[in-house]
Amino acid sequence: MKTTPLTHRHIALGAKMAEFAGYNMPISYTSIKEEHQAVRNGVGVFDVTHMGEFVLRGKDALALVQKVTTNDASKLNIGDVQYSCMPNLNGGIVDDLLVYRLPEDYCSEGEQAFLLVVNASNMEKDWNWISENNTFDVQMINISDRTGLLAVQGPKATEVLQKLTDIDLSAIKYYNFVKGKFAGFDNVLISATGYTGAGGFEIYANDLDTEAIWDAIFEAGKSYDIKPIGLGARDTLRLEMGFCLYGNDIDDTTSPIEAGLGWITKLNKGAFNSSEAIANHKANGTDRKLVGFVVNDRRVPRHDYLIEDASGNVIGKVTSGTSSPSLEIPIGMGYVATPFTKEGSEIFISTGGKKMQATVTKPPFYKG
């Protein structure tokens, strides 16, 4: 099992550790609910060094990114970040990812450079997929093993991190980044992104500097009651916002259109992998769609529970579910037959012998 530069820190803090995507990762330190609320109301720090990072650079770097992703990377200026997904050749999703347009010092004159941040569980698969599609003059560099990544999230994140840099963090717009000096280290990427809906930044640095940066952030956040946060709260936070989790809500068999990701699928940018199939899905509709729902019960919907209509006919399946720490009600997402996707539709979650009545609800569940 792999470790991050901070694994010993998590263990020393008493974290409940478990294998995730091949890494020994902290699931929680105190309780998921407590950590969740720390991020919603204050500031928390996630070690997400397990994520994958690939640099693509060359005169055809944009062409490769355009071929393998659904969003339109030609719209990116240096310092911009874009949420996107990589389709396979059958209309499904290889992975969802972030695409960064890197500064000119990452490449030679006349070239462009991009950073692709991918899910840890898909790192090898994604690298192989992009490599297979690299019929261009593009250099690919896997920097995953030498990149540390911390997500500092919550409404107090800016105040805490501002103590560690001369960069005006309040001037960094959502889904933009700045490269500069942070916590005494040069060439750090500070990105106004995250997976929580609570605001904050993601910090990319040399993996050898990650421990010192972690310590500096916690020292700066002492008076803000800063907390370390595990993957358990990361999941409840993202689900309250209706953000997809690869392997649960999207996978190689789900279309971006049925997953509600049409907004990152730019069919007018030109041909890309599966663009014809996805265009057909958009034009003619799909048999099922991903929806959010609120359960009118105290029980929690679990992954793979069947979803039924009022007559007991199976109309879909739960992909994600939890008890919302912010709302104190069970919420979830799942694919249902298209006639049942209208907001307010009544559906039933089957737990085997019992059923829970639920109402289709458009995410985000938590409005802030």
Q: What is the CATH number of the domain that holds 311?
A: 2.40.30.110
pLDDT tens-digit series, residues 265-318: 999 999 999 999 999 999 999 999 999 999 999 999 999 999 999 999 999 999
Residue 77: inside a domain: no
- Can you read off the two tokens belonging to residue 251? 């996978």
Identify residue 117 by its one-letter amino acid code. Answer: V
- CATH number of the domain enclosing 175: 3.30.1360.120
Rounded average pLDDT over 120-143 = 97
Question: Into how many domains does the chain fold?
Answer: 2
For the cut 90, the answer to whether the pLDDT of residue 352 exceeds it is: no
Residue 82: inside a domain: no
Residues 367, 220, single domain; the answer is no
Question: How much is the pLDDT for 18?
Answer: 98
Q: What is the CA radius of gyration of the chain?
A: 21
* Residue listed under structure tokens 């969802």: 96
pLDDT tens-digit series, residues 155-191: 999 999 999 999 999 999 999 999 999 999 999 999 9
What residues are paired with 19 via a beta bridge?
Answer: 24
Question: How much is the pLDDT for 39?
Answer: 98
Task: In whole angstroms, give the CA distance from residue 219 to residue 198.
Answer: 21
Cβ burial of 78 (10 Å; 0-12, 13-18, 19+) is middle
pLDDT tens-digit series, residues 217-257: 999 999 999 999 999 999 999 999 999 999 999 999 999 99
Neighbours of 239 (CB within 10 A): 25
Task: In whole angstroms, give the CA distance from residue 70 to residue 66.
Answer: 7
For the cut 90, the answer to whether the pLDDT of residue 15 exceeds it is: yes
- Can you read off the two tokens belonging to residue 298? 């105290």
User: Please, how many CA atoms are within 13 Å of residue 260, restricted to the half-sphere of its CB?
Assistant: 18
Residues 222, 360, single domain; the answer is no
Residue 41: inside a domain: yes
User: Where residue 142 falls among pLDDT bands split at 50, 70, 90?
Assistant: very high
Residues 225, 335, single domain; the answer is no
Residues 301, 228, single domain; the answer is no
- Can you read off the two tokens belonging to residue 50? 């397990």
For the cut 90, the answer to whether the pLDDT of residue 353 exceeds it is: no
User: Where residue 368 falls among pLDDT bands split at 50, 70, 90?
Assistant: confident
pLDDT tens-digit series, residues 67-121: 999 999 999 999 999 999 999 999 999 999 999 999 998 888 999 999 999 999 9
- On whether the CB atoms of residues 289 and 254 are closer than 8 A, the answer is no
- Can you read off the two tokens belonging to residue 95? 């992975």
Task: In whole angstroms, give the CA distance from residue 361 to residue 342.
Answer: 8
Q: Look at residues 219, 240, 261 and tell me which one is the last residue of a structural domain.
A: 240
Give the mean pLDDT of the chain. 97
The secondary structure of 46-111 as a DSSP string is EE-TTSEEEEEEETTHHHHHHHH-SS-GGGPPTTBEEEEEEE-TTS-EEEEEEEEE--GGGS-TT-
Residues 186, 302, single domain; the answer is no
Residues 236, 293, single domain; the answer is no
Strand order in the sheet with 147-153: 177-182, 185-191, 200-206, 147-153, 44-47, 227-229
Give me the helix-helix angle, 32-41 and 231-241, nearest 10°: 60
- On whether the CB atoms of residues 350 and 306 are closer than 8 A, the answer is yes
Question: How much is the pLDDT for 107?
Answer: 87
